Amino acid sequence: MSFLAASLAVAIAQFDEPQERFIDTPIRAVNSYQSAAWNSIVDAVAVLPDSHGKPFGLAVMIDDKGHFVAHVSSLVEEPITAKMSGGLDVRLGRIGFDKETQLVLLGAQNWVTGKRQAVRVAPEVKKGELMVATVNGPVRGQLTSDSRPGIFLPSLRFVPLAEIQLESKDFPVGGGVVFDNSGSLVGILGAILNPMYPETAMATQSVRNDPKQFGPAGLTVAYALGPKILNRIVKGFRTESHKVEHPSVGIFFREGEGPGQIIVDEITKGSPCDLAGVKAGDQIMSANGVPMGNVIDLAAMLFELEPGSELTLKLYRNGEQFEAKMKVGVQKNLS
């Protein structure tokens, strides 16, 4: 059996073998109710190798046409031969890419439909226990926040991320796939805490090992896109063009001189903000009724909006407050 096949076999066998057999770490076995969830999705998970053929990342199948999604950092070469359960080798090549989130759409060559069931993306994620699929099998995780502002590179977009804590030791979890206990997809790991902004996360494949303890093993804190944005990406990848439509209102803003001030810096001509009467120099007080205390929170909130939805900004100009209402547009030039 190849290294890749053995890796997936370890993942499948984890529920039947003692805890100590799992890569020789003190990580606790996934609970029995998570075992059922894992069995329902294991056929949709593909293990991606590094340049030496060793397990390196994961891709997850989003439809029965052989379309898979992975974080770009999980790919060391393209096209790539991945390993799936049952010893199936599948050749995957890139057919789509969302530069805003660094997620890649991969297509399988010579794929036979109807043989494997794709995963379902959850509409939301609730705080509590989760299941994180890694190259060495599933481990238990804990959702501690579903709205941690983070930075995606190289797009420099602030986005709301899910913060997940999990037990790990000496094996990679970056690019891991996160499921709830029903087996629905809730995220793909791809971020760490940003050292320049301690209260935000920065998108990368790495994760942060914390000296605190979460059970018997070291605590790893990782971040993933939440289900709302992940649903948007999967929806776009499933279209004929494989393009994702992200929101845009045509506004650029900066921190003001006073505490918590957000000042409009520039407005794109003809954009929703321009048509709604927003001007450079306006101070943003709230968005859709939610007070905005800093530029990071506002940027993350705007990215979570759906194209076509309504946005109301409360603004302050020349000593007076007023509202600007608009319909959210679609960001251009995504290729």
**Predicted pLDDT of residue 113:** 92
For range 255-265, the mean pLDDT: 90
3-state DSSP call for residue 184?
coil
| 169 and 104 share one domain | no
Does residue 236 belong to any structural domain of this protein? no
Give the domain range for residue 281. 247-330
String of b and e for 215-239 (b: at least 16 CB within 10 Å)?
eebbbbbbbbbbbbbbbbbbebbee
CATH number of the domain residue 321 falls in:
2.30.42.10
Does residue 237 belong to any structural domain of this protein? no
CATH number of the domain residue 219 falls in:
2.40.10
| 222 and 257 share one domain | no
**Predicted pLDDT of residue 136:** 79
Q: What is the separation, in whole angstroms, between the first and last Cα of the chain?
A: 40
Q: Tell me the pLDDT of the chain averaged across its residues.
A: 80
| 262 and 284 share one domain | yes
Asked which of 87-91, 123-127, 195-199, 218-222 is least confident by mean pLDDT, the reply is 195-199
**Predicted pLDDT of residue 169:** 54
| 157 and 73 share one domain | no
| 181 and 135 share one domain | yes
Domain total of the chain? 3
| 202 and 184 share one domain | yes
Does residue 242 belong to any structural domain of this protein? no
Does residue 335 belong to any structural domain of this protein? no
Does residue 235 belong to any structural domain of this protein? no
Q: Which pLDDT tens digit goes with each residue over 216-258?
A: 456 678 888 888 899 999 999 999 999 999 999 999 999 998 8
> What CA–CA distances, in Å, run from 216 to 27, 274, 335?
7, 55, 45
| 77 and 152 share one domain | no
Q: Which helix (H) or strand (E) holds 166?
A: strand 157-167
Res. 11 pLDDT band, cuts 50 70 90: very low
CATH number of the domain residue 103 falls in:
2.40.10.10
Gyration radius (Cα) of the chain, Å: 21
Asked which of 18-22, 244-248, 319-323 is least confident by mean pLDDT, the reply is 18-22
Does residue 171 belong to any structural domain of this protein? yes
Cβ contacts of 174 within 8 Å, gap of 6 or more: 57, 71, 73, 74, 189, 190, 204, 205, 206, 207, 222
Does residue 86 belong to any structural domain of this protein? yes
**Predicted pLDDT of residue 117:** 93
| 106 and 134 share one domain | no
**Predicted pLDDT of residue 161:** 83
Cβ contacts of 229 within 8 Å, gap of 6 or more: 101, 159, 160, 303, 304
Q: Is 111 exposed, middle or buried (0-12, 13-18, 19+ CB in 10 A)?
A: middle
| 76 and 140 share one domain | no
Dihedrals φ, ψ of 164, to 5°? Answer: -130, 130
